[in-house]
Structure 1
């Protein structure tokens, strides 16, 4: 395997930014509505954005200085003048309008109008929120931290969420926000976006309530499998304890295991491969305990 090794100071800022945005991805989008001291509204998307704290509820986004001429963006100027912002969350139905709002219009031009989006009055802050957005976070700006004075330098806008607006339609029957219903989009590198739908969505159990045995405690013959992937091993290592010998012996009596043992009776390498492939099938169905019984049956 070969690697392309890069020292940031040895390449141009635009090239570096392209590389970084392509590998630090997908990135959520903060569609920020702000207002200057004269009451003029600005609406612009930023993908240098994330959640950093729940108590207090803090989100941070960064309007970087323009690389080409080192000027600042209207959003940054506005939050310094009026330290309030609404972070509107972007889903697939509004992604084209969001992109249009990123156009560098002259100061004072209302991107709500240009993008054909509907301003809705906020409750606790001055800037309006985007009615089309599935969720909106009314925020007070706690601090703005410049990261440099050159083109491409970020400015961390630290925002405390003081009120949330969540559309009823994004909730599932259990009262949780459904990733399928909210249908979020995120930024990749260049002109690319990703959409949280279909095969883009999958679940990985969090090891919060149990302590997994770890990949290091998986038997070497399984750990060095030519069939099982790193993801497979990670899931195997997330189990708290292995099935007992009695459970494994009982499982060996099942028809699918007996058939494999008979089919590859004198072919140990082929048997191991078939066993690992069967275990992989169970892992993909999230039946981890059964996968372990398969693996320990030989």
Structure 2
């Protein structure tokens, strides 16, 4: 494993390693305004949601690594403490990238990138009409993290109004994760796109306590077939099955086939039962998977 001491790296090297590793990152497409009324629009991937009560997003217009200068967005929010965080979908990504060009002070990136300015209801900066979600925010605090090249400036933006395009909502009025078509930043010039094909769910252990991986037998924990994801799913189950439930799995046709074919061959029996459990887990059948891996211990 490559081990690096951050104090030995240049800001450019640090940026490269960290932005490739800490990814994907959501994109904050921030519209701001200065005291003279000049509008600015710029994307930032040092961004996330940090609180829901109060609802607070934080994004960071870092000092330029190249020459340690600050960005117009930062200068604007220090004077006019308002912004709109526009969420970026795939249909906007090329124009959003264009808006990141370092145009001179006073240049309106809405016009340069071809976006439509939509008046906000509460704050002065306009919204991006094309954005699927627009968050009108009051900037409550700006926290500088340093004064050297690449130093961040945390902009704490409290969300006051949320605007959501109706076409990304489901039948219950909630945002449909498959419809919003989000994009995110990776390292270098790389982006990724959230599509229905690459979405998956992981159950949250909110109301129950999983037995934990440590409660599984050593042969299961050290399996050469079961993956870390498999063990995590097994460890998230609330209770171990009863001996009767485990024994009943012998009636499963696939289990019976394995047991009959591996009489006197404990090694292959364990491997094949673990492979069957892996197949069960792949389709979300955690309870039967656990019974299968525990069954080989009773034979």
Alignment TM-score, normalising by the size of structure 2? 0.97
Q: Distance in 2 between matches of 1:277 and 1:169?
A: 43
Deviation at 1:175, TM superposition (A): 2.8
1:175 partner SS: coil
1:51 partner SS: strand
Corresponding residue to 1:39 among 37, 41, 45: 37
Deviation at 1:173, TM superposition (A): 2.3
Partner of 1:96: 94
Aligned pair count reads 296
Deviations along 1:104-159, whole A, 9 cap, x unmatched? 00011110111111110000000000011010110000000111111100000001
Q: Where do residues 170-185 of structure 1 align in structure 2 (5 Å cutoff)?
A: 170-185=168-183
Corresponding residue to 1:234 among 232, 235, 240: 232
Q: Distance in 2 between matches of 1:234 and 1:244?
A: 20
Q: Distance in 2 between matches of 1:257 and 1:98?
A: 54
RMSD: 0.9
Q: Distance in 1 between matches of 2:78 and 2:252?
A: 69
Corresponding residue to 1:260 among 258, 261, 264: 258
Corresponding residue to 1:121 among 101, 107, 119: 119
Partner of 1:132: 130
Unaligned runs of 5+ in 2: none
Deviation at 1:198, TM superposition (A): 4.0
Partner of 1:165: 163
Q: Which moved more, 1:172-181 or 1:212-221?
A: 172-181
Deviations along 1:174-214, whole A, 9 cap, x unmatched? 33212110011100000001111144311100000110001
Deviations along 1:72-95, whole A, 9 cap, x unmatched? 000000001100000000011101
Deviations along 1:247-278, whole A, 9 cap, x unmatched? 11112122111111011112211111110011
Deviation at 1:170, TM superposition (A): 1.1
Corresponding residue to 2:154 among 134, 156, 159: 156
Deviation at 1:71, TM superposition (A): 0.6
Q: Distance in 1 between matches of 2:107 and 2:26?
A: 25
Partner of 2:279: 281
Q: Which moved more, 1:244-253 or 1:202-211?
A: 244-253
Partner of 1:15: 13
Partner of 1:87: 85
Corresponding residue to 1:270 among 265, 268, 273: 268
Work out whether 1:204 is the aligned partner of 2:189: no
Q: Distance in 1 between matches of 2:98 and 2:50?
A: 28
Corresponding residue to 2:292 among 271, 291, 294: 294
Unaligned runs of 5+ in 1: none
Corresponding residue to 1:55 among 53, 56, 74: 53
2:167 partner SS: helix
